Structure 1
Amino acid sequence: MIQTTNPNLIPVYAEIFLLVAASAILLIDMFLKDGKRVLTYWLSLAALVGCAALTYSDYAAGTTVYTFHNMFVSDPMANLLKLFTYLAIGITLVYSRTYATERGMLSGNLGGEFYVLALFSMLGQMIMISGNNMLIIYLGLELMSLSLYALVALRRDHAVSTEASMKYFILGALASGFLLYGISMLYGATGSLDINEISKAAASSTANLNILVFGLVFLVAGLAFKLGVVPFHMWVPDVYQGAPTAVTLLLGGAPKLAAFAICIRLLVEGLLPMAIDWQQMLMVLAVLSLAIGNLTAIAQTNLKRMLAYSTIAQMGFVLLGLLAGVVANPLDANAIPDASNAASAYSAAMYYSITYVLTTLGTFGLIMMLARTGFEAEELNDFKGLAKRSPWFAAVMAILLFSLAGVPPMMGFAAKFAVLESVLSTGAVWLTVLAVMFSLIGAFYYLRVVKVMYFDEPLDTTPIVAPFDMRAVLSMNGIATVLLGVFAGPLLAACLNAMTKTIGS
């Protein structure tokens, strides 16, 4: 671990580069005509490649570096999550180009704001992932959120998108208030916003326990909203359905990695001495999310809305991994905190978050590929007979849905198995059985889409038209879903190594 008094800019080279690149792309785009706006697209992808190169050098070093008076940290967990964030945003931009162009999101007064706002939202996510100070984490969160609010409302002439943006903004502001109030309580109890100092104060008898618990409740509520788990899930189905599909993917993909990162920063690194308190809160949130997410998704005929409830259930699994890492038995309030299972449990949750993001990218990508001008392919009936229209992409969609359902040998099965193994090691057999039961229920609505694609007659025989880059990336997305399930070891080992080094620092 390296600590510096004077600001060391090397750990923040990727953030600085992205800030400069996004600002430059915004200026360049001002002088481009609508027909030339493909340059903005390629420049955005080039910015992501530059960020990846800078971050990979830090990841390869494998060290933990604190800078800006310990407010910013570059550690293996942060760097690995950032690399997958770049990948998620890059894939999203590839999938979205044709969709956004056909809906006027890249022309006229809007220009290339879609790409610039996507890059600024990613900058916020990077700050969230590396924040080691509550104020820095909050600033990153707001940068990401404000960019996403604007993206949801980007189609200003579309009433449904505008309504979704208002809902997202109002509920997001409420959640930010919860989080900020919780942070203020923790600051009042510990006298610091530094996560390391808060951890030391929570472990000692100097902090006021009542204020700490009070602040923790609001903190968990704010985090639960960002993850989209029950009972803070109200915005998820409405915003997923109302937002343009390209923006829905920006909402449901990479931000989940940043939300996982701040859960680790705030709860594990900052409030580990209070693990028994927040672990029980997460257990309730996880069970409710698995139940309501899976059961409500069965009733949905709109695929975006169904995938929204699926997201709620999937985040329930992430919470299971988070709650399994600290104490021997999550049901025993008097248990002595035991962190022997921490690295494996948190790495399983991290692996689950990554696999979920990679899978959900493909599902929404296929929805966008089937859409065309004046038509949104987001209803279940729109996928009828897809196997007859395009056998290959029907197979890709089936692979992605099987992965979300946890069917072997897809990577979703490996992720669910890793999380359930961690939960079972705590002795909470009933929680493991409950998670498996709800996963079986959830498999119904995924398999229903597969049935519609392969056994129903197509209602639309219009040829599927998509650019080569989109077809290629979608194909690789589907193939990777299988390969990362069959050969899950390397990514699981990378997550375990990153989490072990991060917790140890």
Structure 2
Amino acid sequence: MTTPTSLPLTAADIAPLVPELVVIGGAFVLLILDLFISQKQKIWTHVLSVAILAAAFALLVTGTGGQGEVFHGMFVRDAASDVMNTVIVLLSALTLVYGWSYLRERDLYQGEIPVLVLFATAGMMVLVSAGNLLMAYLGLELLALCSYALVACNRDNRLATEAAMKYIVLGSLASGLLLYGMSLIYGATGTLGLAGIHDAIADSSERTLLLTGTIFMIAGVAFKLGAAPFHMWLPDVYQGAPAPIALFISSAPKLAAFGMAYRLLEVGVGPLSEQWHWLIGGLAALSLVVGNLMAVAQGNLKRMLAYSTVSHIGFLLLGVAGGGQEGFSASLFYAIGYALMSTASFGAIIALSRGGFEAENIDDFKGLNARNPWMAGLVLLIMMSLAGVPPFLGFWTKLAVLGAAINGGMLWLAILGVVCAVIGAFYYLRVVKVMYFDEPVGEPLPANNDRVLGLVLSVNALLLLVSPLFLNSIIAWCQQAFSQLT
């Protein structure tokens, strides 16, 4: 007699995979299409890639395909994955919109760039929906391999190739640590399924093996997030990569890495939370201190944003350390807010850069208000939000994770977070100071005629000011994602 598990898959069985299939299928179509179009027609590859992501976004928002498990629980589409995938797809589309004029001006635009972004997006979508260690690793490596290639897309630039090599070497090391941790967890529980691991831990006598495996997995997750002391790749990659690629790496993958942390730690080794909560708390504290102190010393804006990313990851981990529905929903809220802020900050760099000039040093913003008051105003909104000044979005995200840490019994960590937030405000306000109080340096650059870029950046920056008007709805959306947690 045939068992249910041996029956062939039907369309209804794989319906939850529809958004991922659209992105992956679209990437393969564009890969083939790019072979038959000229350099002048590359805009069609770009437009179609944005259209594919828009279609996936619509499928996720409307809930097409429904939630459920596919491949015997290897892939899980639930409320948490839908929320994260919706934002990931939106951020990937923003990357392509921001990057078009920048890459075209510098003759860097190649048909494989949107294809790599699509495949990386598919990897992130699989990663946050993983119900199995094997699926988590598959999604992570698909994201990582595409990211390495994207960083190295400017092959004639020494900084870009050097950054890509560092990224590959350190990324491979982190993947090895993660894979080793997964193998130890499998050896202790006898299963690759995250739900099965969760159930098996209670009856397992291999406590040492489980804890060792968890430590190695946390090390791998910390690298992908960019938490200290696993942050060494961030400054070089942010500085060396073209600005649109740095924008991509700084936004959507951070949300995907948070999704991976949720799947592996809470869904997988949740019964060991009393141990790993303190380890996450230590990573959060170290990230807050190292990130803020190093950012203060930077004169290059990209490197400053890289070290500030380390600090923001520290804040994000405050919620994870707090645990429970409140902790994870607060961290998800922070991840979404930070991704929007990071996208806007690199978008400003892109908008102010021209062929032969990169607006990546803080001194390049001197006197910006005298030359372009609107752009200076947008940068002001971005920096204020990153600094956590009320009533901007950044203030409410910080408030959420600090409250989660306090309610999770980590008052000391919340106090450290407040102190580090004050330190962080210094280097963000320094950018505001040079824009409004310093004299312009050098000849004024020609205006950016990309109206789409200007419109998207304006909307992105203004959202940081007006989104708190919808604060309750956004928080409720994040809480719904983790409604099954207590």
Paired position in structure 1 for 2:463: 480
Q: 1:462 aligns with which of 433, 445, 450?
A: 445
Paired position in structure 2 for 1:335: none
Structural mapping, 1:418-437, within 5 Å = 418-437=400-419
Partners of 1:119 and 1:45 lie apart in 2 by 9
On the 8 A contact 2:406/2:414 being kept in 1, the answer is yes
Paired position in structure 2 for 1:339: none
Q: 2:81 aligns with which of 62, 78, 83?
A: 78
Q: 2:274 aligns with which of 270, 273, 276?
A: 276
Partners of 1:293 and 1:66 lie apart in 2 by 39
For residues 402-426 of structure 1, give each alpha carbon's deviation from its aligned partner in whole angstroms, at most 9, with x where no partner exists: 1111101111101000111111123
Paired position in structure 1 for 2:72: 69
Partners of 2:278 and 2:412 lie apart in 1 by 15
Paired position in structure 2 for 1:322: 320
For residues 351-395 of structure 1, give each alpha carbon's deviation from its aligned partner in whole angstroms, at most 9, with x where no partner exists: 000000001000000101111111111001111111122111211
For residues 420-461 of structure 1, give each alpha carbon's deviation from its aligned partner in whole angstroms, at most 9, with x where no partner exists: 111112333222111100000000000000011111111141
Partners of 1:163 and 1:273 lie apart in 2 by 42
Partners of 2:165 and 2:253 lie apart in 1 by 19
1:171 aligns with 2:170: yes
Offset of 1:64 from its aligned partner? 4.3
Offset of 1:103 from its aligned partner? 1.8
Paired position in structure 1 for 2:104: 101
SS in 1 for 2:327: helix
Paired position in structure 2 for 1:377: 359
Offset of 1:321 from its aligned partner? 0.4
Offset of 1:49 from its aligned partner? 1.0
Paired position in structure 2 for 1:471: 454
SS in 1 for 2:32: helix
Q: Judge which range, 472-481 or 483-492, deviates more.
A: 483-492
SS in 2 for 1:500: coil
Following TM superposition, where does structure 1 have runs of at least 4 consecutive aligned residues deviating by more than 3 angstroms? 4-7
For residues 183-234 of structure 1, give each alpha carbon's deviation from its aligned partner in whole angstroms, at most 9, with x where no partner exists: 00000000011000000011x2234111001101110100000000111011
On the 8 A contact 1:412/1:485 being kept in 2, the answer is no
Identity of aligned residues (%): 44
SS in 2 for 1:73: strand
Partners of 1:458 and 1:36 lie apart in 2 by 39
Give the RMSD, CA atoms, in angstroms.
1.4
Q: Judge which range, 378-387 or 5-14, deviates more.
A: 5-14
Paired position in structure 2 for 1:328: none
Report the TM-score when normalising by structure 1.
Answer: 0.92
Q: 1:22 aligns with which of 27, 49, 55?
A: 27
Q: 2:58 aligns with which of 53, 57, 61?
A: 53
On the 8 A contact 1:389/1:463 being kept in 2, the answer is no
On the 8 A contact 2:178/2:220 being kept in 1, the answer is yes
1:386 aligns with 2:384: no
For residues 470-504 of structure 1, give each alpha carbon's deviation from its aligned partner in whole angstroms, at most 9, with x where no partner exists: 11111100111111123311111100111114x48
Paired position in structure 2 for 1:184: 183
Offset of 1:68 from its aligned partner? 0.6
Partners of 1:86 and 1:307 lie apart in 2 by 23
Question: What are structure 2's unaligned runs of at least 5 residues?
Answer: none
On the 8 A contact 2:322/2:409 being kept in 1, the answer is no
Q: 1:39 aligns with which of 41, 44, 49?
A: 44
On the 8 A contact 1:65/1:74 being kept in 2, the answer is yes
Partners of 1:9 and 1:496 lie apart in 2 by 27
On the 8 A contact 2:349/2:360 being kept in 1, the answer is yes
Offset of 1:137 from its aligned partner? 0.5
Partners of 1:246 and 1:94 lie apart in 2 by 9
Report the TM-score when normalising by structure 2.
Answer: 0.96
For residues 50-76 of structure 1, give each alpha carbon's deviation from its aligned partner in whole angstroms, at most 9, with x where no partner exists: 1112222328x9x74111110000101
Partners of 1:475 and 1:181 lie apart in 2 by 45
Q: Judge which range, 484-493 or 118-127, deviates more.
A: 484-493
Structural mapping, 1:73-152, within 5 Å = 73-106=76-109, 111-152=110-151
SS in 1 for 2:482: helix
Paired position in structure 2 for 1:449: 431
Partners of 1:228 and 1:80 lie apart in 2 by 22
Structural mapping, 1:119-268, within 5 Å = 119-202=118-201, 204-268=202-266
Paired position in structure 2 for 1:305: 303
Paired position in structure 2 for 1:417: 399
Question: What are structure 1's unaligned runs of at least 5 residues?
Answer: 326-341
Paired position in structure 2 for 1:397: 379
Partners of 1:133 and 1:466 lie apart in 2 by 48
On the 8 A contact 1:409/1:486 being kept in 2, the answer is no
On the 8 A contact 2:16/2:67 being kept in 1, the answer is no
